Amino acid sequence: MLATLSCLTASPIDAQDASRPLVTPGVSAELAAFRRGQLRDVRYDLSLTVSAGDTAAGRVSASFIRRGTGDVILDFRGLALGEAVVNGTPWPEAPRYWNRHHLTVPAARLRPGRNVVTLAFATPVASAGAAIIRTRDAADSSTYLYTLLVPSDANLLFPCFDQPDLKARVTFHVTTPPAWRALANGAATTRDSSARGVTHHFAATPPLSTYLIAFAAGPWSVHTRREVIAPGGRPVPTALYVRRSRAKEAEADTLLAMNARALRWLGAYFGVPYAFPKYDALLAPAFPFGGMEHPGAVFYNEESFIYRERPTTTQLLGRQATTFHEVAHQWFGDYVTMRWFDDLWLKEGFATFMAARMQADLEPTSNAWKTFYLRNKPVAYGTDATSGTTPVWQVLGNLDQAKSNYGPIVYNKAPSLLRQLEYLVGPAAFQRGVQQFLREHAYGNATWQALLGAIGRASGRDLSAWGRQWMLRPGMPIITQQLETANGRITRLRLVQRPAQPALSGAGAWPLKVQVRLHYADRPAVSLPVELRGDTTVVVGATGRPVPAFVFANEGDYGYAIVLPDGASVSWLEQHVSEVRDDFLRAMLWGALWDLVREGELAPVRFARMALRALPGERDEQLAGALVGRLGTSVNRYASPTVRDTLLPEVERLLLAGAGDTTRSYGTRKSHLDAFVGLAQREGALRQLRTWLTGDSAAGLPLRAPSRWAMVTRLVARGAADRDSLIAAERRRDDTTEGQRLAFVAAAAAPDSTVKHQLFDRWFRDAALNEEWVTSSLRAFHEPEQQALTRRYLTTALDTLPWIQQNRRIFFLGSWLSATLGGQSERTALDLVDRWLSARGALAPDLRQKVLQARDDLERTVRVRERFAAEPARSTSGSEGHTGPADPPGGR
């Protein structure tokens, strides 16, 4: 595909050779395509010597079968290259063929068929910005190391062919100080001691993509347990690695059993048992993700797997969902891998979808699809309805931009589309298609077309148009319900869809299949499956039926669309939504009402009043938590200052009462308490926080460190004069690594320009500062009530995006933008962002999209505030605050 490739001949690189197309920084799509045709059967024999120091020394033998006569290009951007040997012959001039991104092995040194290139190298070890992450445990001064290579840092760790479709068998040898343990993808084989320390040897793995290679080292505590991990198989040893100081707190048996249960269930569903030789998990301290699915060595975020205070149901379900997600990746991602990161959705979408499918089957009472809805849809719509959204399949020119492909579109929209697809073709055909896909691409790579092809064949349905609309087209539909009635009967029910962003998505309807519910207060509901093929769909089955209490066009959450109910339905829901017994349906209805607020069609004060009325009786813990959050946002962010000041005392009373209500579940009480702390701003509320801190209990709930820190942070944010002594006192109580981190966060909340200035500077200058610490301090720094103070950082924060993209991990940029812009709610800030955008014509498109995604909520906030600025706080019930969508003439 590239004519220049056949005459490629390497010459020594004198630093400025980055103009040659294949050896530009990163891994270009061209280089990946070239190597895809050139290389096969890759193997790495990888030795690393690690310690608590700043560098690791390594040696790799990369063995591969080469086709053609061209040079071979390895990727490496570590610290240094040392001794090199090609096919047994020393190659002393190798460093001159390294441009700090790629090492070009000249064709003259290579032969047809199998070649072996052996290289010595050094790679950095650091708290942030290195392939090997180092954390130090404050409790016992131990050092722990682990790798995190996704998506493009395998070539920072060692010289390799860093692209997902050059899978390799990897054999690790890790040399550590004597008292350390080590863990890697392969099974541990032998250990030997030398003057340098102990060398841990691991067996060769099945073929792995480079981003999935992993090891960890340190004085980990290990808990082993025999588990059946293949359906009908025999028990095999599995292990959980935890740092020593927290080993007692980890529910090791529970966690290993949960992983094994998922492995068995998925093996049965996919018709392929777990495909790697062993399964271990590690709880990684200060881990920047929720989890990472390395085959055989899954890493989880310690912070969300070991609880420092009693967990809520929402937290427990979240931990289970993360576990199931990472285990599902062992098939979707690890066993069959996307060919290139443009198809990132394929693994992420499946992992989340399968996690819910499994939760629904294994825990029938968990109402898993309700959890799926609450965890995914608001987040997906929150990005996909913006002008910065992208298609699910995302063009990717270079691996070093792959981080930009991560976000709600692949994590939350993609699994939602799989739910829609399963509903469209039926669960049995869906499963048969997926099984076929996995069989066809075992240990290999595939694209979205291959997946839809397999499901299409299994279901006898041509999915190419579906794929074009949902995979390649950016954006999403908004559906409005139009209900016409006469003489107590429905004369016509129409569903009208339009793109949320017409300029971006273009015209035309998305193909959708939904379930429409006609809900009656006094008779059974009617559910009607409807396929939407055009802009307007008449729900034929509704005509002639009695007028319902309300209509909802996405019962069961199969459809992917923002559904805005008609005026009559909104009027009924406003009075009676809490009477809807089905928790899942009620959660969706609240979601639809909230969407009306965000669309500027329902006054925030009206939503707040509905929530104030409903919350005391809301028995669903997850929904109560979501509702408490939205109540806070409607009052504190969307409503006018007058409305806020009027409603706050009422909100505080409700939250206090909810927190102290012993008839309600712990999680419901805790979400009320957390919201009270988060909203505390009046004198009485702040005094209450101090009373709780002194008494060590709050509203009858015992206070543990995380909640105490939240209160301290809130007091600091509100300008407590004794903030230094407050933080110091709390640090004395909580002398752990987490305590240090939370003290750092609390300090960031101070409404003090010197503190802000020093911290902003430190985020960029202090290489020893762990990235996770920076991430967790962003929200406190950008406390919305301090927006006058933080607005001056807005454009600087945007100017740093290219640096962040280069130097921070996948999710950091999104957190950075959402905290920075989320800390603002006024038009002045919006104007600053817009001026910045229009002055940056040369801004990389992926960064522009990320800014537009984050800008959307600020823009909505400004719009909602301006629109309802004059809304009285004491409005009575009725529909005057609901400005649309209007019922058509003839509506009841």
Q: Which residues bind Zn ion (CB under 5 A)?
A: 348, 351
User: Considering the complex, what minimum distance in angstroms separates the CB of residue 276 from Zn ion?
Assistant: 17
Q: Shortest distance, CB of residue 292 to Zn ion, whole angstroms? A: 8
Backbone angles phi, psi at 397, to 5 degrees: -80, -25
Q: Which amino acid is at 800?
A: T
Neighbours of 47 (CB within 10 A): 18
- Name which of 639 and 810 has its Cβ closer to Zn ion: 810
Residue 351 CB, nearest distance to Zn ion (Å)? 5
The closest of 661, 663, 635 to 650, measured between CA atoms, is 635
Residue 571 has, within 13 A of its CA and on its CB side, a CA count of: 14
Report residue 439 as tokens. 């069989």
Provide, rounded to whole angstroms, the least separation between the CB of residue 325 and Zn ion.
Answer: 6
Query: Are the C-beta atoms of 222 and 241 separated by less than 8 Å?
Result: yes
Closest by CA position to 274, among listed 305, 229, 239, 311: 229
Burial of 507 (0-12, 13-18, 19+ CB in 10 A): exposed
Q: What single-letter DSSP state applies at residue 333?
A: T
Least Å distance between CB 352 and Zn ion? 7
In SS3 terms, 524-569 reads as: CCEEEEEEECCCEEECHHHCCCECCCEEECCHHHCCCCEEECCHHH
**Nearer of residues 368 and 677 to Zn ion, judged by Cβ:** 368
As measured in angstroms, the least distance from the Cβ of 322 to Zn ion is 9
Alpha-carbon torsion (315, 317, 320, 326), positive or negative:
negative
Q: How far is the CB of 209 from Zn ion (least distance, A)?
A: 14
Tell me the one-letter amino acid at 231: P
Residue number with CB closer to Zn ion (348 or 846): 348
Nearer Cβ to Zn ion, position 348 or 674? 348
**Could you tell me the smallest distance in angstroms from the CB atom of residue 333 to Zn ion?**
7
Whichever of 411 and 584 has its CB closer to Zn ion, that residue is: 411
- Please say which residue, 811 or 836, places its beta carbon nearer to Zn ion: 811
**Residue placing its CB nearer to Zn ion in the complex, 602 or 813:** 813
How close are the terminal C-alpha atoms of the chain, in Å? 64
CB of 17 to Zn ion, least distance (A): 37
Residue 98 tokens read as 């390294």
Reading phi first (left if > 0) and then psi (alpha if -120 to 50, else beta), residue 197 is in: left
Pairing, β 80-86 against β 89-90? antiparallel
Closest CB 524 distance from Zn ion, rounded Å: 40
Residue 248 near residue 272, CB atoms below 8 Å: no
Measured over the CA atoms of residue 435, residue 437, residue 441 and residue 447, the dihedral's sign is: negative
Q: How far is the CB of 348 from Zn ion (least distance, A)?
A: 5
Angle subtended at Cα 177 by Cα 171 and Cα 182, rounded to the nearest 5 degrees: 40
**Rounded Cα–Cα distance for residues 796 and 791 (Å):** 10
* CB of 320 or CB of 497, closer to Zn ion: 320
Least separation in angstroms between residue 220's CB and Zn ion is 23
Identify whether the C-beta of residue 673 lies closer than 8 Å to the C-beta of residue 655. yes
CA distances from 567 to 573, 886, 892 (A): 10, 6, 10
Measured from the CB atom, the residue of 351 and 817 that comes closer to Zn ion is: 351
- Greatest pairwise CA separation for the chain in angstroms: 92
Closest by CA to 413, choosing from 381, 390, 389, is 381
The nearer residue to Zn ion, 153 or 348, going by C-beta atoms, is 348
Looking at the Cβ atoms of 345 and 773, the one nearer to Zn ion is 345
Give whichever of 236 and 379 is closer to Zn ion, judged by the CB atom: 379
Phi then psi for residue 883, to 5 deg, are -95, 10
Specify the DSSP class assigned to residue 375.
Answer: H
CB of 775 to Zn ion, least distance (A): 18
Backbone φ/ψ region at 157: left (φ over 0), alpha (ψ -120 to 50), beta: alpha
Q: Which is nearer to Zn ion, 156 or 351 (CB)?
A: 351
- CB of residue 411 to Zn ion, shortest distance in Å: 7
Strand bridging mode 102-105 / 526-532: unpaired
658 contacts 672 by C-beta, under 8 angstroms: yes
Cα→Cα distances 611→420, 595, 634, 654, Å:
30, 14, 10, 10
Q: Strand runs (DSSP E) across 289-356, as ranges? A: 291-292, 297-301, 337-338
**At its nearest, how many Å lie between Zn ion and the CB of residue 405?**
13
Strand, helix or coil at 756? helix
CA-to-CA distance for 892 and 887, rounded, in angstroms?
Answer: 8
**CA 692, CA 481: separation in Å to the nearest integer?**
48
If the CB atoms of residues 280 and 348 are measured against Zn ion, the closer one turns out to be 348
What minimum distance in Å lies between the beta carbon of 332 and Zn ion? 9
| Nearer to Zn ion among residue 323 and residue 790 (C-beta) | 323
Cβ nearer to Zn ion, comparing 130 with 351: 351
Minimal CB distance residue for Zn ion: 351
Q: Kind of pairing, strands 562-564 and 477-486? A: parallel
Rounded to the nearest whole angstrom, what is the least distance from the CB of residue 869 to Zn ion in the complex?
Answer: 42
Question: Alpha-carbon distance 348 to 328, whole Å?
Answer: 9
Q: Name the residue among 211, 171, 204 with its Cα closest to residue 59.
A: 171
Who contacts 330 (Cβ-Cβ below 8 Å, separation ≥6)?
263, 266, 274, 275, 276, 293, 295
User: To the nearest whole angstrom, how small is the minimum distance from the Cβ of residue 364 to Zn ion?
Assistant: 25
Residue number with CB closer to Zn ion (351 or 699): 351
Instruction: Specify the residue, 200 or 294, whose C-beta has the smaller distance to Zn ion.
Output: 294
